[in-house]
A and B are shown apart, each in its own frame.
Chain A
Amino acid sequence: MLPFIRSVLALLVLTATVPAHAALKVLATTSDWGVLASELGGDRVNVYVATSALQDVHRVEAKPSLVARARTADLVIATGAELEIGWLPVLVQESGNPRIQPGRPGYFEAAAQLNLLEVPSRLDRSLGDIHSQGNPHVQLDPHNIAAVAKALTARLATLDAGNAPYYVQRGSDFESRWQQAIGRWESRAAPLRGIPVVVIHRDQAYLCHWLGMQEVAAIEPKPGVPPSAGYLGQLVTKLSTAPPRMILRNSYNDAKAVNWLSERIHAPVVLLPFSVGGTAEAKDLFGLFDDTLNRLLTVEP
């Protein structure tokens, strides 16, 4: 019996010491934060992404597989601003993992690093699915990515102090490549400034804000509320006199209403990746913005 107890004890001690040497386990709620964590953490992080670009991140099931990943995560990277409110709290709560509880260093929210657009002045659900802290679809402004990257670098360095110089070095490397890319994107995107566009949900707000495109209408009358036939008819009347240059659609959106409107107002639909993985070309964060601009500029060269 004694040798058995001894080996069990040895195993316990072993499992207790293993995590210190292993890579930092990251659970990212979206592919964008997942690839950002890989950019900054290199081979010192082990990233699992909870959703794909084909999913509406606000509507995700708290699947057993995700609870299992939350159990072993050292760091959860979420968008925040209530985007994941329907499922992330369940993962964190069911995980039995004190490291990732909100307020602990292992819980990181991108939106907390940013000043959000469209903070509602009136909180009332008759206005649709609004978020009290502002519009949470922050990833399509590269300046937001830069700000989140900075904060995330600091967070990685705090969590894994032994590798801090590594993260700081990668962070500044990313920062310089990213700022260069922003310069390139902004000069390419100059023709897009001021053009009128139609969106589906309010999830292109940061892209439009960044590029100076004008959102003249949204296909959803209120956030999260699908359009009625009457509302679509009004849209056609309104937009026929002053048609937008294009209608923006994300890869996870339903094409039906968009195509219907496109035919009637003679404005092309531009399919955008929205998140890393949303199109074949949007393989990483650089690809996300390259591809977004390529697609916008095919209509507006």
Chain B
Amino acid sequence: MSKVFAAAIVFVLVMPATTAAHRLDEYLQAARVSLGRDRITLEVDLTPGANIASAVVALLDRDGDRTISPLEAEAYGRAVLADLMLELDDRPVAMALTRVETPTIDEMLDGLGTLQLRAVGKVETVGAGRRQLYFRNNHQPAASVYMVNALVPEDGDIGVVVQTRDPRQQLVRIEYRVGPQWPLQLLWLALGAAVVSTPIVLRRAGLSRPPELARAFGRKVAQAFRPAFNP
């Protein structure tokens, strides 16, 4: 596939530009990474310039019928996905394609059509701490320009610390921190509240000594069960 693409690139680069607007000989690939507690979500928008669009169309429209079928779109989406590398804390993340949307062939040939690819990868949920995601886009590097950005996570307990890219934005290392999960936090909060409030409650009830507390507790239990014993 890469040889076909490369040959087509060489061919189109010597052709005169015919479209006045927008990028011509670049394959713009813009990725956005969404960080979740148990998943990584990826959005990639791919826009071939007018002068290289025919090469991308050749990869997409495998049967040459001038339309892109859902199966052809999915096959290309999988091919793109295979060219992406994602590692979380040095362990590969398997990404599954969730959606591919393609423009018409004419729109691509005009240099204004964008393919939209969406994928998700499940990752092992871990407790609070720092994590590092490595992303590299190896799809058609000869003619491509890249962009990659971490989105602000939807989970407010996850925060991006730093993003480090190469000059082409072909790769990025995203360091992020994950806060403790809410159920655990709530447990600690409840325990803390109990520790703080117990002496206050006892003082208000006039029970400052443990024997008094025990006796009062016994009386309460007896009162509670008296009806059952004396119907």
Do A and B share a complex?
A: no
